[in-house]
Amino acid sequence: MLTREELEAREAQTLAPYAQRSAESRGREHPEPEHPYRPRYARDRDRIIHSAAFRRLEYKTQVFANHEGDHYRTRLTHTLEVAQIARSVARALALNEDLAEALALAHDIGHGPFGHSGEAELARAMKDFGGFDHNTHGRRVVELLEQRYPGFPGLNLTWEVREGFLKHVTRYDRPLAPKPPAAGGPEAAEPSPSLEAQIVNAADEVAYDNHDLDDGLRSGMLHEEELAGLALWRRAGARRAAAYPGPLEPRLARTQTVRFLIDLMVTGIVAETERRIAAAGVGSAAAVRRRPTPLVGLPSDLAAEKTELEAYLLEHFYFHPLLRRKMEAAQRLLGELFAAYLADPRKMPEEHQRRFQDAAGEAGAAGAEAARACRQVVCDYVAGMTDRYALEEHRRLRGDRGPAELLR
């Protein structure tokens, strides 16, 4: 059996000089012995997989709610696709696969029910009380809300994984600025995260662009004849036709075109990132973090075609009338749940009732801090819900289906 020290020594021999090595981790907030044969980031990955918040992703919306079809992506299957792409890119670039996988598996753990529409409603409810953002909430989940260990709150993940929450940036993810660092803290001079975290940012975009395209076509909301006007779809279609020159059954033609689309993007990311690393001359993970802009990305031609594809999805899919109607219903449902718990915290489970009472007591009987602390408890509870549980809770509190009817 190889020990953790031996596995981490192997990293020093096999990983690129600019990769994040486990042995160079800045450690955990709460000191504890490391595992005898699992490197630090592998242990982080395993803790994320075994968390309750990770399991709940199965019943949280990606675009379509879980009950709308067995083959549409959920927040969990999206997360697994991101992890697969991130591992592939990390391996090709000789980066730390364990760290990339841990970051990918954790990146959406702070999402509430009903996807971005649910997040928008939680942000509205918390607008004057600190706001809500699923990236910063994800860090709150792993640092405070998960309760699995007697010695500390949260999962006690390494600094590098927790850093990923605050520096996860994609077209649809703009995390709140992190808290000001302590005097002399490393974050002050480090505008960029590790290359592994940058890979997850890119893999997230590749995954949702392609699986949302696939789900949109499957649902009938998108149409292939319209996609023919997009340069990236034509490029992937040409590769599919070259690989399979004969006629294909329509479903296979669609899935193979999406497959080649993913391959185009992933291959482009690997090649362009290698070029940028060489041009920048970075020789360590610390040098990567000091860079003002990301080193992971697509070449300019593919990036422009990807932007065209995303603009099409935004107009024709994400804002499709059927989805907008469901999003508006989801927001009404969550807004009513939030208001009901805030007005009567006894409607929440005992654990959250105690937290609500403690928050009010610690902050005083009145004032802005009391209001913020109490709202945060309600927000934590609602954000942790799955779509299914939110629907059940709403029906229990109202006694009828209300806006939930539109989500069935």
3-state SS class at 283: coil
Q: How many CB atoms lie within 10 A of CB 337?
A: 23
Range scoring the smallest mean pLDDT among 22-36, 53-67, 295-309? 53-67
Task: Mark whether 257 and 388 lie in a shared domain.
Answer: no
User: According to the model, what pLDDT value does residue 180 have?
Assistant: 37
In a domain, 403, yes or no: yes
pLDDT band at 178 (very low <50, low <70, confident <90, very high): very low
Task: Mark whether 168 and 187 lie in a shared domain.
Answer: yes
3-state SS class at 240: helix
Task: Mark whether 87 and 221 lie in a shared domain.
Answer: yes
In a domain, 168, yes or no: yes
pLDDT of 85 strictly over 80:
yes
Q: Tokens 């004032």 map to which residue?
A: 367
In a domain, 230, yes or no: yes
In a domain, 336, yes or no: yes
User: According to the model, what pLDDT value does residue 78 have?
Assistant: 94
User: According to the model, what pLDDT value does residue 182 have?
Assistant: 41
Residue ending a domain, among 256, 289, 319, is 319
Residue ending a domain, among 319, 354, 385, is 319
DSSP assignment letter at 136: H
* C-alpha to C-alpha distance for 187 and 181, rounded to whole angstroms: 6
Task: Mark whether 333 and 297 lie in a shared domain.
Answer: no
User: According to the model, what pLDDT value does residue 367 have?
Assistant: 72
pLDDT band at 176 (very low <50, low <70, confident <90, very high): very low
User: According to the model, what pLDDT value does residue 209 have?
Assistant: 94
Half-sphere CA count of 91, side-chain side, radius 13 A: 8
Task: Mark whether 196 and 221 lie in a shared domain.
Answer: yes
Beta carbons of 166 and 136 less than 8 angstroms apart: yes
Task: Mark whether 326 and 297 lie in a shared domain.
Answer: no
Beta carbons of 28 and 22 less than 8 angstroms apart: no
* C-alpha to C-alpha distance for 82 and 257, rounded to whole angstroms: 19
User: According to the model, what pLDDT value does residue 91 have?
Assistant: 98
Range scoring the smallest mean pLDDT among 53-67, 81-95, 138-152, 378-392? 53-67
User: According to the model, what pLDDT value does residue 364 have?
Assistant: 52
In a domain, 123, yes or no: no
Among 185, 168, 161, 193, residue whose Cα is nearest residue 285: 193
Report the first-to-last Cα separation within the chain, whole angstroms: 52
Task: Mark whether 241 and 332 lie in a shared domain.
Answer: no
In a domain, 119, yes or no: no
pLDDT band at 175 (very low <50, low <70, confident <90, very high): very low
Q: What share of the chain is helix, strand, coil (3-state, %, to 5)?
A: 65, 0, 30
- Residue 276: burial class (beta carbons within 10 Å; 0-12, 13-18, 19+): middle
Count of helices and strands (H, E) across the chain: 18, 0
Please give the residue range of the domain that contains residue 401: 322-407
Residue ending a domain, among 297, 319, 341, is 319
- Residue 171: burial class (beta carbons within 10 Å; 0-12, 13-18, 19+): middle
Task: Mark whether 149 and 67 lie in a shared domain.
Answer: yes
Higher-scoring residue by pLDDT: 173, 284: 284
Task: Mark whether 309 and 365 lie in a shared domain.
Answer: no
Would you mind telling me the total number of residues written for the chain in this entry? 408
Task: Mark whether 19 and 103 lie in a shared domain.
Answer: yes
Task: Mark whether 246 and 346 lie in a shared domain.
Answer: no
In a domain, 64, yes or no: yes
In a domain, 121, yes or no: no
Task: Name the domain count of the chain.
Answer: 2
Please, what's the b/e burial string for 216-228 (b: 16 or more CB within 10 A of its CB; e: otherwise)?
Answer: bbbbebbeeeebe
Higher-scoring residue by pLDDT: 273, 218: 273
Domain harbouring 2, CATH code: 1.10.3210.10
Beta carbons of 205 and 81 less than 8 angstroms apart: no
User: According to the model, what pLDDT value does residue 400 have?
Assistant: 65
User: According to the model, what pLDDT value does residue 403 have?
Assistant: 61
- Residue 1: burial class (beta carbons within 10 Å; 0-12, 13-18, 19+): exposed
Task: Mark whether 210 and 340 lie in a shared domain.
Answer: no
Arithmetic mean of pLDDT over the chain = 90
User: According to the model, what pLDDT value does residue 184 have?
Assistant: 43
User: According to the model, what pLDDT value does residue 137 have?
Assistant: 95
User: According to the model, what pLDDT value does residue 360 have?
Assistant: 85
